[in-house]
Amino acid sequence: MRSLAVSSLFVAGILFGGQQANAQEQKIAFVDLQRVLNDVAEGAAARSKLKKEFDQKQAVLDKKQKELKKMKEELESQGMMMKPEIKQQRVQELQRNLMQVQQTYMEMQQELSGKEAEMTSKIFKKMGVIVEAIGKEKGYTLIADRNAILFAQNQLDLTAEVIRRYNAAYDASGNAK
């Protein structure tokens, strides 16, 4: 029985010892993909373009909301003096306009979300090629996203290099240099 235990420990030592040696040969790094997205020139240009578009659309919504507020205030202040059928018409008109503003808001949000996803997708695709090239050049076994890692030493961070290479390869419009 004692020889069985010793044999088991010997086999386990060989198996796990081999895995430990193999694990030490692994070369691992990480990239903060969100930081790359925010810091590359193309990402900054995309954010600026989206913000400009958002601000324009928000101005339209703000104008419509002011009109709704004015309609509501008029209805509240003059409602007691109105004939019931006229008051009912104004209430219905206010409700229709409110629903239109809500619908417009939802459409704008979906449109902007779609554009952001499209821009982000293009940048991530190019970023993936760069990360893969770094991995192959430097012999990395694994390069993970920083947000999927609980702890890693800073020297394993390739984010700055990915940003540098991305900006060297692409201009702010996303065109290859």
CA 163 to chain centre: 17
Answering whether pTM is above 0.85, one says: no
Least Cα distance to 33 among 147, 140, 133 occurs for: 147
- Angle of helix 84-138 relative to helix 159-169, nearest 10 degrees, comes to 100
On the 0-12 / 13-18 / 19+ scale of CB atoms within 10 A, 39 is middle
Say what the pLDDT of residue 10 is: 34
Residue 100 backbone phi and psi in degrees, to 5: -65, -40
Residue ranges of the chain with pLDDT lower than 50?
Answer: 1-21, 23
Say what the pLDDT of residue 24 is: 53
Say what the pLDDT of residue 82 is: 85
Residue 29 contacts residue 157 (beta carbons within 8 Å): yes
Supply the CATH number for residue 51's domain. Answer: 3.30.910.20
**Count of domains forming the chain:** 1
Per the structure, the complete domain to which residue 108 belongs is given by 2-169
User: In this structure, are strands 142-145 and 28-31 parallel, antiparallel, or unpaired?
Assistant: parallel
Residue 175 lies in a domain: no
104-138 pLDDT tens trace: 999 999 999 999 999 999 999 999 999 999 999 99
Residue 177 lies in a domain: no
